[in-house]
Amino acid sequence: MKKIFPAIFILTLLIGGELFSQTVYYGARVGLSLAQADEETPKLGLQAGGLLEYVFASDIALGTELNLNTQKGVPIEWAVQVKYYFNTNVRGLKPYIDLGANLWFFDGGPYTGWRVGGGMDFKLSRYFVIPLDFQYGKVSIGDNWVDYFAGTTGIKFFF
């Protein structure tokens, strides 16, 4: 059983989305995050991470991200989300909205949360996309819910 998941991941890397006429994007992201690191004051930090996104033919995508933040406790976020891409008349521009859940790993964690956001993808070529992404969410820490905001950009590529 432990060998099945790595085999599926490697198979996905090798065949990409071409075989099934869908698209699998891999990428990196970097930007700023604003998180409530203590009970009173939100702290600004750097967010960097990687992403994997599977886009279905109907403009719906399922994605996952692993992000490192530089606030107190160096929180690591693992998020999964569903995206809906809108069609526009502007060539190469795809706005989207997303909704998802996340796990946060830092002092005393893991903690659960949710996120909602949106942004747009600017397609440079068939293989490269520049995303501009904004996320807002809440993280449950004990009996408290703390706010989280991130604005990032990066690059997504298709093999």
- Residue whose structure tokens are 């991941």: 9
**What's the whole-number mean pLDDT along residues 82-101?**
93
pLDDT at 51: 93
Amino acid symbol at 24: V
| pTM: predicted TM-score of the whole model, two decimal places | 0.78
Judge whether residue 42 has pLDDT over 90.
Answer: no
User: What is the rounded average pLDDT of the residues 74-80?
Assistant: 91
Q: Is 17 left (phi over 0), alpha (psi -120 to 50) or beta?
A: alpha
CB atoms within 10 A of CB 51: 22
% residues pLDDT > 70 (the chain): 84
Question: Could you report the per-residue pLDDT of 94-123, keeping only the tens digit for each?
Answer: 999 999 999 999 887 799 999 999 999 999
Spell out the alpha helix ranges (H) of the chain. 4-15
Q: What is the band of 58 on the pLDDT scale with cuts at 50, 70, 90?
A: confident
pLDDT in tens, 24-35: 889 999 999 988
Cα separation, 26 vs 38, in Å, equals: 33
Go through the domains of the chain in sequence order and give each one's CATH number: 4-158 (2.40.160.20)
Comparing 35 with 21, the larger pLDDT belongs to 35
Burial class (CB in 10 A: 0-12, 13-18, 19+), 58: exposed
